[in-house]
Amino acid sequence: MTNSFVKLHIDGAVGTLIFFTPEHNALPTAILTDLEQQILRADANTDLKVLVIKSGGDRTFCAGASFKELIAIENEAQGKRFFMGFAKVILAMRASRLLTVVRVQGKSVGGGVGLAAAADYCLASQYSSIKLSEISIGIGPFVIGPAVTRKIGVSAFSQMTINAQEFYSAEWAKEKGLYAEVLNSAEELDEAVAKLANELATYNPEALAECKKMFWSGTKGWKKLLEDRATTSGKLVLSEFTRNKLKSYA
């Protein structure tokens, strides 16, 4: 695979949303927008009960924000618009009546951890270590923070944020509550995802939707919260420190 894409496949009551970019599944605005729109499209399909979200490739689930796009940001409005891309995907997952099952086959950094955290149920392979590297380049995991904290708690989130160069193992992520299950191989992971999705597809859709509301109780203020966080990130990405850091990776 060499070209970026976002595709939604529908099989009975199960939708599967897959994304891919050649930069280790790092996410530019265009892909983030497509992800949000396809989540909304799936939610509008009354035949669906479950949405599986996964990425292409073998050992990287998502490398987070596209560095190419971060480097190209020239003003605060552009910065906010970019980080709102992550906010809108998280908010779409939150608002959807569908139970979202996220399949994590490999490493996740930054925004990729946010996608995993926004799942209603997340399954991962043993290779699915996680890292929040944002503070090391002069910003912070502001937009994804509420979703990650909701899953793993303030203490673990703070630990990851501060130890920005460290990858935490899949088992650690499971212990903290990010992953529900950790499987030994991609094959076992696919089997577990399919089994869960197909089982959920047999359940009462009204009960599933009510459970979804219950899971996300206490998050009504997230739209403004995440927008405010995107504003903060959009300002920090223009700082001299961050510009120099990003250039060093170019």
Look at strands 5-11 and 14-20 and give their pairing: antiparallel
Report the 3 state secondary structure along the chain. Answer: CCCCEEEEEEECCEEEEEEECCCCCCECHHHHHHHHHHHHHHHHCCCCCEEEEEECCCCEEECCECHHHHHHCCCHHHHHHHHHHHHHHHHHHHHCCCEEEEEECCEEECHHHHHHHCCCEEEEECCCCEECCHHHHCCCCCCCHHHHHHHHHHHHHHHHHHCCCCCECHHHHHHHCCCCEEECCHHHHHHHHHHHHHHHCCCCHHHHHHHHHHHCCCCCCHHHHHHHHHHHHHHHCCCHHHHHHHHHHC
Identify the structural domains of the chain with CATH numbers, from first to last. Answer: 5-188 (3.90.226.10)
pTM listed for this prediction? 0.97
Residue 247 is predicted with a pLDDT of 87
Residue 1 is predicted with a pLDDT of 60
Give Cβ neighbours of residue 78 (< 8 Å, ≥ 6 apart): 234
Residue 230 is predicted with a pLDDT of 99
pLDDT digits (tens, 9 = 90+) for 32-75: 999 999 999 999 999 999 999 999 999 999 999 999 999 999 99
Residue 243 is predicted with a pLDDT of 95
Residue 41 is predicted with a pLDDT of 98
pLDDT digits (tens, 9 = 90+) for 134-160: 999 999 999 999 999 999 999 999 999
Residue 249 is predicted with a pLDDT of 79
The low-confidence residues of the chain, meaning pLDDT below 50, are: none
